[in-house]
Amino acid sequence: MLKKPPGPSSKSARPCSLVMFFVGGRKAAARVEEVGGVWPWTDETMPVPSGTPFVNAVLRHGEEILPVYDLAAKLDVQVREPGSLCLIAKRADGPMAVRIDGDIPTLHAIDEGDIRRSPDPDPDLMGTCRVGADEVWIYSLATLGRVPIPRAEIPASCPAGGQDQRDPHAKDPGR
Partner 1 sequence: MSLRGRTHIVPHTVGLTQFLVVGCGRTRLALPAGIVRGLGRAQEAGSVIEPPVSRTDLADRFGLSRSARVEEGRTVLCGGRDLQHAFVVDEVIGLIEIEVDRIRPLPPHFAGPERIWFTGVFLLQGSAVLVVEPEWLLGSYPRMPGALSSRPSDPSESAPRALPPKPVMARHGAHGTMAAAAASVEFVEVGQLEEAGDAEETPWAEL
The answer to whether the CB of 79 falls within 8 A of the CB of 92 is: no
Tell which one of 8, 15, 40, 49 touches partner 1 (CB under 8 A). Answer: 49
Q: Does 41 bind partner 1 (CB under 8 A)?
A: no
Tell which one of 3, 60, 122, 173 touches partner 1 (CB under 8 A). Answer: 60
User: CA 9, CA 48: separation in Å to the nearest integer?
Assistant: 53
User: Smallest distance, Å, CB 43 to partner 1?
Assistant: 10
Q: For partner 1, which stretch binds (CB under 8 A), given 13-21, 23-31, 114-122, 160-168?
A: 160-168
Tell which one of 13, 38, 151, 165 touches partner 1 (CB under 8 A). Answer: 165
**Residue type at 80 in one-letter notation:** R
State whether residue 105 is helix, strand or coil: coil
State how far the alpha carbon of 64 is from the alpha carbons of 60, 61, 96, 157, in Å.
Answer: 6, 5, 11, 24
Task: Please choose, from the candidates 100, 99, 95, 79, the residue with its C-alpha nearest in 3D space to the C-alpha of residue 21.
Answer: 100
Residues that bind partner 1 (CB under 8 A): 44, 46-53, 55-56, 58, 60, 63, 65-67, 69, 91, 93-94, 96, 145-147, 149, 152-155, 157-161, 164-165
